[in-house]
Structure 1
Amino acid sequence: MSWQINYAIKSIQHYHREASTHHLRGEAISITLPQQAPVVAIISAAYIITAELAMAYHEEFPEMDFLCGYRKECVWSGDAIRYVESRSIGWGSAGTLNSAIGKQSLKTTSHKDYFFSYRLIRQMTSINSLERQFDRVFVMTLVSGKSYRVGMIMEYEPTADAIRTFWDRFGPIDIAWNINPNGNPTLNAIEAGRNLGCKVLKWEDLKSLL
């Protein structure tokens, strides 16, 4: 049994004592709650979930309800997100999986770190189109015709290093959106963004821009 399967089963059993969880085969586990049908989750140790990887998992496990990128560092490509969502397969992190068990259908679950922020953006009538490039990066084109590449920054108080590291990993962005509601970017982060050519914003400032 792989390390991530072992950790996933132990974590689910710890937080959901009423759940029956066992290893099926490969990277698949089965989770059963009282009075509910079993669900199948794939626990991946990949650092990046691509569309090709998601398709391979789906081919191997056509019964899968949820695809979990178990590593904290795991990143999802936009094509992978589109693939699983178009086939009613839930996706996200280990925390997403644990949070959803028993509360909602795993098939409709998406990465909890970015779900609410991305839903806010999707509801804005001033946005004409959205292209999700990664779980935390999207391009929005406004009704006015202007386009912005936006990175969603999860840190409580993003530092200059957080902004520069994001830029290096995901490429140039026009807006670094600090989506954590409990903190604010440091002045050094705002200055680093300015030097790179991007704005570091909280929701109220981003909403005003839209």
Structure 2
Amino acid sequence: MRVISGQFGSRRLTPVPTNKTRPTTDKVKEALFNMIGPYFQNGQFLDLYAGSGGVGIEAISRGMSKAFLVDKQMAAIRTIRANVQMTKHPEQFKILKMDANQALDEFENEKIKFNFVYLDPPYKKQKMVQQLNKLNNKKLLLSNALVICETDNHVELSDNIDSYQLIQQKNYGLTVISIYKYVGDK
């Protein structure tokens, strides 16, 4: 695992030392950022199931100004902290040890809005449509924000989800990336 491109390109990342997380492969991460970027000029990025923090670190490396990295496992939080320290820019990250729904409530209370949201929950617990609805209902997305959903190839997400437009979907073997553009309430 490594940072693919940008300011921190080629730096190695430490994986979470448990079998409870499934890291996004470098191949999928590179393809993902080629689809949504590949480079940015500021903005806020949310990784709601951050694992090692690799996707959020990649976003900062490519020009996002702030990444919010959420995970409820202590092993993941320790790994995220170590990986963020490698960047030497910890001020660009906010690390939250809490469950995804609790984090969304906190962001709503603090009136934080995101340009990009990455959803990669454990495959057996995926509730993507519910979380897309929560992001909309809690008004956590900026106009035209992108929400990236990583699922296994057995999950079929609808093209038609209220307040979202599916703009791209790619299959990478066992992994499928679906990118939705936030279009707000119609």
Classify the TM-score, shorter chain.
Answer: 0.3 to 0.5
Larger radius of gyration, structure 1 or 2? 1
Larger RCO, structures 1/2 (Cα 8 Å, 6+ apart): 2
Structure with a larger share of its residues in helix: 1
Q: What's the TM-score once normalised by structure 1's chain length? A: 0.31
